[in-house]
Amino acid sequence: MATSDIEVEATFAVPTDELEAPDLSGVDHVASASETTSFTLRATYFDTKDLRLTRAAITLRRRTGGRDEGWHLKLPGRGRARREIGVAIDAAPGVNGDGTVTLPAELHDLVRAVVRNEEIVPIAQVDNHRTETALVDKHRADIATFCDDRVRAASLLPGGTETSWREWELELSAELAENARGARVLDQVRSLVEEAGAHESDSPSKLLTALGDSLDTAPKPPQPYEFQAYDERDETFTGLVEALSAYRDALVYRDARARRREAGTVTSFMSAAVGLRLALRGLYELFEHDSWDERLDPVEAIDARLHAAAERAAESATRAGGHRELKERVDANSSGKIDEHTRSRLGQGSRAAAKRGHNKLVAELNSKAYIDALDALDRLLADPPVPSRRERRKAPAIIVRAVKRGYVAIKNRRKDLNSEPALPCDDERAARLIDEAWRHAEELVAAAELAREYTAYRAEALAADAASFTALLRQVRQLSAAAELVAERAEHAAGRGESTFAYGVVYESLRERTAAVIRRADSEFKTLKKSYKAFRRSIEEP
């Protein structure tokens, strides 16, 4: 079973072998800094030959020795923070007898969007004699661990060399990893370390130090094309090309987090896929009146896989959100009318539905078609077709067209909904219209963000209001999913001859909640309408 922790650490270069480590007992809340333990650690680091993981600030290693012997995958986070995911040392052998590499399947899946189908090879060997000092408070609770590391490493890349160095490392405990108290501990230790004669390391990791100059001579994966604007009228097209790369990076960055269902990441993954599709469509439309470029041929296949991934992500997020909404409604009900049997049935059912939805997403992200689409996208971004100068000038108009398309579609769905008012949990037509309005709203958010970033028009309020409106529609879909599950469970209960009264109580609670959110969405649309009109006026201004 995998472990997962937030890691925040600071590394300090130690100039000599004789330098004594500082006394850290004076750091805030540290009651003891005297218990030391020594280990011999041996780590093999893995990556593709073109170092896709390393270039993405991702570290994958198999390490023997120490308290946390095993496989470790480190993913970048905010600031100094990194997410470290660990599995047992025997989950995979690493380098096999024939020189091939076998990774733990769980970790390999988490980096699949980065490594794709590329061969995984060992890239560095790092041996470390470590002396650890535990910093604990008066209750013997961990504050941090201070490590005195004497390292010998070798780059296994072509042209790689051996090197050795000494460094001090401070790793905060999980409880202090991302809070103000932990930041104060880091600041105080940094001051004490600098007074002792060390300084913060220029290298962010042992791996990069081990690779040294061989990192610069390693082959590189396809690099995004940087379009050079001819004049200021090319700025929007330049922005569109930049947006394609930014959305692609966001999609790959969020892949591992979406697979692990970290808070909000499935929805943000879906938004990246929607934005990428919209930007691709913009590039495609620039060639409507220009000579066709065969490099655009894969766009439809790429779009289809992005659409499939976005659909699976939407289903996963909706089912997970439905589970949360259902739990909230059940927990908030203090009437005593919901018996424990019903609570258990609903909880099990909603968790199972959320798991099924997420498994479908993971299956899509692991599919050959999706991985191939990412490769095709990278090739397109490395060598994109560039339309003629006259057609490039139409980039602002294409973004405006996307904004209008999204807004008008939402307005029409709202009109249809108001013509025959009904709740989506009660009426298939209403459910379909809400679903369509939400999809167009997601596209409007992406289009408004493009307009805000890459045109001269006033789209800030539009982007913000569209995001708020979309979030409410997203919640309506989640509530509808929860209500649908309650109705199914009630039907099953009736088939077993059980009372469905408690199910009816929960269903009615969800209906009331849905109606309230729809009223908020209706009010938010009026705000969205005003910001859209302001956006249109900014286009007409001289």
210, 327: one domain:
no
What pLDDT does residue 178 have? 86
Which CATH number characterizes residue 199's domain? 2.40.320.10
One domain, residues 237 and 340: yes
Residue 495: pLDDT band with limits 50, 70, 90: very high
Q: Mean pLDDT over all residues of the chain? A: 95
- Mean pLDDT across 403-428: 94
The answer to whether residue 263 scores a pLDDT higher than 90 is: no
Domain count for the chain, please give it.
Answer: 2
pLDDT at 20: 94
pLDDT of residue 79: 83
CA distance 94 to 43: 11
pLDDT > 70: percent of the chain = 100
Are residues 112 and 154 located together in one domain of the fold? yes
Residues 149 and 285 in one domain: no
* Residue 422 reports pLDDT greater than 70: yes
**Is the distance from CB of 457 to CB of 539 less than 8 angstroms?**
yes
Binned at pLDDT 50, 70 and 90, residue 542 comes out as: low
Determine the Cα–Cα distance for residues 247 and 240; give it in Å rounded to an integer: 10
Name the E strands within 299-422: none
Give just the sign of the alpha carbon dihedral 525, 526, 529, 534: negative
The pLDDT score that the predictor gives to residue 291 is 78
Domain range for 188 is: 3-217
Q: What whole-number distance in Å separates Cα of residue 191 and Cα of residue 280?
A: 50
Overall average pLDDT of the 501-519 stretch: 96
538's enclosing H/E stretch is helix 501-540
Identify whether residues 201 and 268 lie together within a single domain.
Answer: no
| Residue 35: predicted pLDDT | 83
* Strand pairing class (120-136; 142-155): antiparallel
Using the predicted structure, report yes or no on whether residue 384 has a pLDDT greater than 90: yes
Residue 33 pLDDT: 86
Please tell me the least confidently modeled range out of 136-150, 285-299, 526-540: 285-299
Q: Does 418 share its domain with 322?
A: yes
Decide if pLDDT at 292 tops 90: no
> Which CATH number goes with the domain that contains 360?
1.40.20.10
Is residue 15 a part of any domain in this protein?
yes
163 and 258 assigned to the same domain: no
Lowest mean pLDDT across 114-128, 223-237, 315-329, 363-377:
223-237
pLDDT at 290: 72
Average confidence (pLDDT) over 218-233: 92
**Stretch 228-255: mean pLDDT, rounded?**
94
Q: Name the pLDDT band for 148 (thresholds 50, 70, 90).
A: very high
Classify residue 179 by its DSSP letter. Answer: S
pLDDT at 232 over 70: yes
**Claim to verify: residue 191 and residue 247 sit in the same structural domain:** no
Q: Are 191 and 27 in contact (CB under 8 A)?
A: no
* Residue 238 pLDDT greater than 90, yes or no: yes
Dist. CA 266–CA 314, nearest whole Å: 8
Q: Is there a single domain that holds both residue 241 and residue 313? A: yes
Assess whether 396 and 457 both reside in one domain: yes
Q: Given a cut of 70, is residue 125 above it in pLDDT?
A: yes
pLDDT computed for residue 47 by the predictor: 98
Closest CA to 9 of 94, 72, 64: 72
| Amino acid occupying residue 302 | I
**58 and 90 fall within a common domain:** yes
Residue 441: what residue type? A
78 — pLDDT class (breaks 50, 70, 90): confident
If pLDDT is split at 50, 70 and 90, which confidence band does 119 have?
Answer: very high
Query: Which of 159, 184, 217 represents a domain boundary (last residue)?
Result: 217
Q: Based on the domain organization, do 404 and 479 belong to the same domain?
A: yes
pLDDT of residue 421: 87
Residue 48 has pLDDT above 70, yes or no: yes
Average pLDDT over residues 256-278: 95
